[in-house]
Amino acid sequence: MHATPAVVLCDLVGESGGTERYLERVLPELCHAGLDLTILARRVDRPDAFGVPAIETPWAQEHERPSTLAAAQVERRLARMRPAVVITSNVLDAGVLRAVRLHAPRWLARVHDQRPFCPNGDRVFPQFPAVCKAPMGGACAINALVRGCVCGPRAESFERIARRGAVRDELARADRVLVSSAAMALQCERNGIEAARVALTPPPLPRDAYGSPPENMPDRSIVFAGRLTPQKGLSSLLRALARIDALTRPRLIVAGSGDDEEPSRALARRLGIEVEWRGWLDQRAMRAAVDASAAVVIPSLWPEPFGLVGIEAQARGRPAVAYDTGGIRDWIDGAGLTARAGDERALAAAIEAVLDGRTWRRLARAAFDNAKTYDMDSHVRRMLALCAPQHAERVTCASL
């Protein structure tokens, strides 16, 4: 049987965040399952990182004007490659997306985060801690004037809003828009993308992700993993931990780095919180850190598109405690505990509750069972069905 030619357009080939981890895991599996893949990427740091040939095509970054040169290059390459399907991931150049629509027999647009629907990128107002719930458009212009969104009351703000709106409008023309959570599916619909075009495809776990959950709770420590930025909520977690009696307070392991690291270190010292600052950990070291701990905590203050670290911990038999934002609820219900976003008292109570031995054992078993639903084979089958036009009309959000 001949392999199906396919092209993937992505922002980065290399090591960065959850999007890159998703591609590194899934693309080789799709090749093995019958797709003949080639990558076109805005930036290629490691040509072999995803196990797929990669060609650098430097289109516009998220706040830049669309690149007519890059769009023409994409058009020529797609015309030469003649793919049966094109998959885009984190492409925020409307001209390039327009070229894809013109030259792709079938287009699957994967939306990994909030950027196609928010010029700020995170749906959080920059000048006070609140989440914007309005669809992108006129509300963004008003918020630029009165709430400092984008660049504040400057012409550049309105140009960026228009450019981001053009990206959203192009995505609405894709055959399917792939999202990781019900919250992101709703965000698509609120921004004018037809519900029938939206497909729920949560990220899978790699085949070697699963550990053996222990019968008893290990060391009383918890793990925070991710970029150290204000919206990831590490400072909020530190303040929540300060509410727990020092005699029973868990030790915190922080795996990650970013601009918020120094302020967070200073806050931890001031509050007397015991923290191990590990920096970025590779996959092996991250799993070891989770295995040695009781739970992970995801105190995100922005609407998390999914929360990949949560199911990665579940695969090791570790429950999560999280603020109930964005797509967190899709995977945590019954297998972890949540608190209202920003409610540090409730977050502290949830951390104390998950560290109770009986509660921990119940949630750990549920977490491990839940992780099995994010298996790679099921995800690959969903993707192949979406890639194949003869099967596409049978695939809906409900059936996935």
Contacts of 40 (CB under 8 A, 6+ apart): 7, 8, 9, 10, 54, 55, 57, 74, 77
Query: What 3-state class would DSSP assign to 8?
Result: strand
Would you list the DSSP string of 288-354?
HHHHTSSEEEE--SS--S--HHHHHHHTTT--EEEE--GGGHHHHTTTEEEE-TT-HHHHHHHHHHH
| Confidence at residue 395, expressed as pLDDT on a 0 to 100 scale | 37
118 phi, psi to nearest 5 deg: -160, 115
**Beta strands 176-179 and 4-13: pairing type?**
unpaired
| Greatest pairwise CA separation for the chain in angstroms | 66
Beta strands in the chain (DSSP E): 4-13, 35-44, 54-56, 85-89, 107-110, 176-179, 198-200, 221-225, 251-255, 275-277, 295-298, 320-323, 336-339
**Rounded CA separation 289/286 (Å):** 5
Determine if residue 296 is left, alpha or beta; phi over 0 gives left, psi from -120 to 50 gives alpha, anything else beta: beta
Work out the burial of residue 119: count CB atoms within 10 Å of its CB; fewer than 13 is exposed, 13-18 middle, 19 or more buried.
Answer: buried
Over its length of 400 residues, how does the chain's per-residue pLDDT go in tens digits? 568 899 999 999 987 778 888 999 999 999 999 999 999 999 999 877 788 999 999 999 999 999 999 999 999 999 999 999 999 999 999 999 999 999 999 999 999 999 999 999 999 998 877 899 999 999 999 999 999 999 999 999 999 999 999 999 999 999 999 999 999 999 999 999 999 999 999 999 999 999 988 888 888 899 999 999 999 999 999 999 999 999 999 999 999 999 999 999 999 999 999 999 999 998 899 999 999 999 999 999 999 999 999 999 999 999 999 999 999 999 999 999 999 999 999 999 999 999 999 999 999 999 999 999 999 999 999 999 999 855 434 333 333 3
| Confidence at residue 391, expressed as pLDDT on a 0 to 100 scale | 41
Q: How many other C-beta atoms lie within 10 A of the C-beta of residue 298?
A: 26
* Residue located via tokens 């212009």: 141
| Confidence at residue 320, expressed as pLDDT on a 0 to 100 scale | 98
DSSP state, residue 32:
H
| Confidence at residue 36, expressed as pLDDT on a 0 to 100 scale | 94
Contact 130, 159 (CB under 8 A): no
Is the torsion defined by CA of 204, 207, 209, 213 positive or negative? positive
Contact 61, 37 (CB under 8 A): no
285 phi, psi to nearest 5 deg: -70, -35
DSSP state, residue 202:
P
| Confidence at residue 210, expressed as pLDDT on a 0 to 100 scale | 95
Q: How far is CA 285 from the centre of its chain?
A: 21
Exposure string for 366-386, b = 16+ CB within 10 A, e = fewer: bbbebbeebbeeebbebbbbb
DSSP state, residue 207:
T
Supply 14's token pair.
């290399």
**Rounded CA separation 37/279 (Å):** 33
**Rounded CA separation 167/160 (Å):** 11
Contact 136, 168 (CB under 8 A): yes
Distances 298 to 60, 70, 226, 256, 304 between C-alpha atoms, Å: 32, 38, 9, 13, 10
Contact 157, 119 (CB under 8 A): yes
* Residue located via tokens 């399952």: 33
Is the torsion defined by CA of 346, 334, 286, 205 positive or negative? negative
Contact 189, 198 (CB under 8 A): yes
